[in-house]
Structure 1
Amino acid sequence: MKSSIKIKTLSRMACYLVVLFSFSAGVSAQMSTFNDGPVIKGFGKTAPVLTHTVAENDAFKIAFDVASAGNAGEINRKFDSLARFINMHVAAYVKKENIQLALVVHGKATFDLLNNVAYQNKYETTNANAPLLSALLQNNVRVILCGQSAAAHAINTSELVDGVEVQLSAMTAHALLQQNGYTVNPF
């Protein structure tokens, strides 16, 4: 009796493992269709969508709001979304000059804007976001830090990645961006 229970248990475990590995292989196969984009290499991987309806002359002015920090030493996936946006739209033949993005950062995400020296002092590892932020800035993305969050976390502007702007608050940044025609990305 005990051996038949063990066999049933082992059979179930084998089935679970088959399902788990099948799912994992399926996800890997799906993710293999995601590639570097034509603009920001190494970040913002996208997959082609052949049935899209984005036109070459479409124009975008979008603010991305990020308050959550990434894991220490890892890229903040919300920051990577801006690279994805640029890469996928240029790959879909939208003119790069028609894409204007702003990254408004506040809360705990403030620490992801630290330069490598300040980041290493805090987390004892390099800031994986620094190269991504540099690439975004080189592609005319505005990176705006909430001054209230900087003050709350005792962050000095000299501790930030070069090119990061500081605004009075994230609320102020969003209000000014909206007055200049930016929409807010809901993701």
Structure 2
Amino acid sequence: MSMIRSILSATAALLLVAPALAGPDDFKPGMAIPAFGKVASVPDAERLSKDAVFKIAFDTAAPAEPGKVNRTLESAARFLNMHEAVGIPAANIKLAVVVHGGASADLVVGEGNANAPLVAALIKHRVRIILCGQTAAYRDIEKSDLLPGVEIALSAMTAHAKLQQDGYTLNPF
């Protein structure tokens, strides 16, 4: 009897906790960029002022796996989707993604680049996509090789320095 009572108590505890846990099915397309950056509702999260202004820089050197999108580019889409979902106006969200190293391949025109639609959607939403010029030189990437709207900076270091001078903070995710 004691064992049955213990099992029932444990089961009841799990059932009470289960609704509080979010799983992959709880992530839904966002309003800004529905095809990328799914988000989950977080009803207990700190409320953000509708007047909040975000200036965030992302950094990526890791390329996407073949046939997949770059995780950092998708994180930028997720950031837009999350914050617009809680009422932050799109005009108050300024994002930049600085790309260098092997991730440069994710910005090049060509069949099979799964990142092309994501890059186009981000640029449409005023996200700056900035390629490190030193990477471009090293990898023989010309401006004409890049997806439309991608910028080239002197270097990733220069891009980050200028973004910080303009009030952007670096998102480590």
TM-score over 0.5 for the alignment? yes
* Partner-residue secondary structure (3-state), 1:110: helix
Matched, 1:134 2:127: no
Note the C-alpha offset of 1:164: 0.2
**Identity fraction in percent:** 52
Determine which of 72, 79, 85 is the counterpart of 1:85. 79
* CA–CA separation in structure 2 for the residues paired with 1:78 and 1:105: 9
Note the C-alpha offset of 1:157: 1.0
Alignment: residue pair count: 151
Alignment correspondent of 2:95: 101
Unaligned runs of 5+ in 1: 1-28, 121-125
Residue pairs, 1:8-157, within 5 angstroms: 30-53=23-46, 54-116=48-110, 120=111, 126-157=112-143
* CA–CA separation in structure 2 for the residues paired with 1:63 and 1:172: 13
Q: Which has the larger radius of gyration?
A: 1
Alignment correspondent of 1:164: 150
The amino acid across from 2:100 in the alignment is H
User: So what's the TM-score if we normalise by structure 2?
Assistant: 0.85
* CA–CA separation in structure 2 for the residues paired with 1:77 and 1:183: 19
* CA–CA separation in structure 2 for the residues paired with 1:67 and 1:177: 17
* CA–CA separation in structure 2 for the residues paired with 1:30 and 1:111: 32
Q: Deviations over 1:72-113 (max 9, x none)?
A: 221111110000000000001111110000000001001100
Alignment correspondent of 1:186: 172
* CA–CA separation in structure 2 for the residues paired with 1:111 and 1:181: 28
Note the C-alpha offset of 1:71: 0.8
* Partner-residue secondary structure (3-state), 1:32: helix
Note the C-alpha offset of 1:41: 1.4
Unaligned runs of 5+ in 2: 1-21
The amino acid across from 2:87 in the alignment is Y
> Could you list the runs of 4 or more consecutive aligned residues of structure 1 that deviate by over 6 angstroms after TM superposition?
none
* CA–CA separation in structure 2 for the residues paired with 1:170 and 1:31: 34
In terms of fraction of residues, the more helix-rich structure is 1
The amino acid across from 2:45 in the alignment is H
Q: Deviations over 1:33-90 (max 9, x none)?
A: 1010011011000000112222211110000000100112211111100000000000
* CA–CA separation in structure 1 for the residues paired with 2:31 and 2:40: 12
